[in-house]
Structure 1
């Protein structure tokens, strides 16, 4: 067993939170290109531009027909001139870093596509509450029985669910870890918003003590049953992603998007999943930021999908690295109305690598991993100081404080599907010279709102969101009614209040100081 391979596996979960200081744009629309296309698809032209400039393209495939045959011969011309020669005045071009976004001029106010999901019959809203303590229940699942779409409650226990008309006579199902599942007939609901009470439940093993259950046997069964428990065909998943950044107690940025995930079958260990951006919005700066360097999170949507630890076979799941960790069964609880083992894991020795500790929730009947919560171990945080920062300005000290992750799977037709993921990262940034002493907190949430089997093998290269993209730079503008009929995670009350304080359109933003020159230094 090679420690180097262990480091590589662990870094897959850590790299989403690599931080980049703001860099100056080096590619612009005046860059000179030479193109030669004769009665060939538009895609050939875009590929020629990409190879010469390093730019790649994002667009709505319903708007831009890349199979259209074109002919064009231009030598040493500005990129902007080439684009105008190919596209008519109805198109708008927005260059962000090395990504060129093509939209219609009508949609350019939001720089996004206008595709909407089907019409809705019900627009349900409400909250989940503990029937005994009356406390609000966060992260509860709300869906239609027997169908793969739904949403979850936010940190305040609130939710919105938009249901198409063909399901108006179906059953609403509400579930949450540690609570009895509840069913409501949609056509009998009289009140909106709904106040849904859930009864807490506890399951205890009767014939065998928890301490007598062999945790390693559970982990072996988990590994043996992956092909039976998870999809063995490709899935096209509609998902909602939100990325929030705070500096101390102030919100700095809120970015959201609807995306497609091409989830490759779980028996294929050689092909990565792919992410395709569909529609998004970004708040104006919620609160003026006075730090000298604008820290960026790289590859957020790409990497949060890596929290699908069954697909990525991360170190605490992979049998090859089992002896790096110790496992113990803590208890048995109710999860989706099913008895579920809670398996604790932690590094079994001091290891100078990015090791984790946490809890694995394993279905007692099928041995499927249905939920996981984990964070960097104490030694892992020390190692993180050498691995977290990809680039930082000279004189800055950056120290990771808390790095916490979670992932959940949802059962449908006897298979468990990737459903939700969250990454919460806090890091301390300090510079005596620049009088900066702040805690930055990034929270990224992913919710799969629908999924279906697909024969699709890959997205087009220019559609694919990759690890080097900075999500918050790809989208712009914030519209309260932007999502239309898409299902999303309802913003918490705290977040809604912060957004109401955001500068209105046409207001003059407070200027930022100039960014510092970046260097490839270690923390």
Structure 2
């Protein structure tokens, strides 16, 4: 054991802060007056930053260069900052004291600005305060998706295949899980600027956490459905799928995978090639989805001109109020409230450094439905988008996005007739062979939560950006329950209790 590791081991035997395997420093931060957890606190160690989760917890990966005498700096809006050597933290709970606000002290630090003048200063100092050009960002993204089936009613109108009866359709309906959760995490390097479509992504590692047994139930039903169809239709048939005035055509051989004869070498090679191509497509799709998600998050930063949160560039569209003053550590901060005067979608608060006029935090939420579509029995309602962004100074003195959290909610409805008609042009007489006719009434609600933590930001030139080659060889590792060792050796934001305690039904049955 090295001297540094040995010193740390001795220290942490006597301290309450968790120090696991000489690699990780973790603790919980709470309000000293209420004992409630303080979320979204900035924790820094040797110019490396971390954010506490909504439960006030953080974990830090300790590099070999870290010494017990190195200071941990903790700061949060409205609280007194803490900065002292790691060895002086004697408990695994850290208490933050609310900071008293002396308005005079803040006001005299600058001229008495109006809210509009404050935003003018923010805009004037954007280039000085932020990286607006191409950058490389080391980041961690966690997505949490919760789905609830609100309604799944149907009426069987006609079925010429006896096996497709009410009992079978009821079993399908009852097997579909009414509630489902899915989590995915990814660490990578993102290259790009303010435009969503100009991003490049190299994925380092990724995971996904969900209940695979629910997927297997659906796969079992699909196999049963396919076997019924195979027994009752002709291989050269085609299907007309109709819903009211809309319809599409599907050939029968597109519905099923043909079983490969193990003695047919050519068929096996073709099947292997197809499998490899599908695997490559999955990797490309995963990388493309993550790249698009990150690009959309970044383009919405309020420091960029085309942001959805455009209060800096279009202040006349908002009612502005200088609501309060507070502190981020020793820095005095203006608290500016904005509410739309007209058709804008969001309200919220901006926390602006009174010294250099940098936005250090923005809280936002929608004031009305963002998208509402309803036509011919199909409906989509995006009713929720709320979250926060936190910025902090990087090693070069410029502010960078440190943390971005947003929760989106939507409801989808489908209330329409549905017909599946088998036709065959090679059969004498009527082409129509079989028909399944239903009236469907389905409603689903979903919530997506995105948590983005940015660790390092470095400018890149146009040439460097053009030379970046994306890595599309990573697929997420499946986990039936959360494995804290999966991210060992990497900095991530601490998972909340729901993720830590997630266990698939298959694991519970063991």
TM value normalised by structure 2: 0.62
The residue aligned with 1:443 is 449
The residue aligned with 2:364 is 374
Deviation at 1:263, TM superposition (A): 5.1
1:345 aligns with 2:338: yes
The residue aligned with 1:496 is 500
Deviation at 1:305, TM superposition (A): 2.2
Q: Aligned-pair RMSD on alpha carbons?
A: 3.8
Superposed CA offset, 1:289-308 (max 9, x none): 8999xxx9883222122232
TM alignment of 1:184-263, pairs within 5 A: 184-189=84-89, 194-206=92-104, 213-231=113-131, 234-248=134-148, 250-262=179-191
**Equivalent-residue separation in structure 2 for 1:475 and 1:246 (angstroms):** 19
Deviation at 1:320, TM superposition (A): 5.2
TM alignment of 1:33-432, pairs within 5 A: 122-145=23-46, 147=47, 149-168=48-67, 169-189=69-89, 194-206=92-104, 213-231=113-131, 234-248=134-148, 250-262=179-191, 264=193, 272-285=198-211, 288=214, 299-314=292-307, 316-317=309-310, 321-349=314-342, 351=343, 355-378=345-368, 381=369, 384-386=371-373, 395-412=377-394, 413-432=396-415
Q: What secondary structure sits across from 1:227 in the alignment?
A: helix
Contact 2:331 2:353 in 1 (8 A): yes
**Equivalent-residue separation in structure 1 for 2:338 and 2:327 (angstroms):** 20
CA 1:318–1:136: 2 relative to 1, 3 Å: closer
Deviates more, 1:339-348 or 1:226-235: 226-235
Contact 1:431 1:437 in 2 (8 A): yes
Larger radius of gyration: 2
Name whichever structure is richer in helix by fraction: 2
The residue aligned with 1:482 is 486
* Structure 1 unmatched runs, 5+: 1-118, 466-472, 508-523
**Equivalent-residue separation in structure 1 for 2:467 and 2:184 (angstroms):** 24
Contact 2:299 2:306 in 1 (8 A): no
Deviation at 1:449, TM superposition (A): 2.3
CA 1:270–1:422: 2 relative to 1, 3 Å: closer
Deviation at 1:322, TM superposition (A): 2.9
CA 1:453–1:172: 2 relative to 1, 3 Å: farther
**Equivalent-residue separation in structure 2 for 1:260 and 1:339 (angstroms):** 33
The residue aligned with 2:242 is none
Deviation at 1:335, TM superposition (A): 2.0
CA 1:135–1:250: 2 relative to 1, 3 Å: farther
Q: What secondary structure sits across from 1:458 in the alignment?
A: helix
CA 1:485–1:319: 2 relative to 1, 3 Å: closer
CA 1:275–1:443: 2 relative to 1, 3 Å: same
Contact 2:208 2:477 in 1 (8 A): yes
1:463 aligns with 2:452: no
Contact 1:120 1:485 in 2 (8 A): no
Q: What secondary structure sits across from 2:34 in the alignment?
A: coil
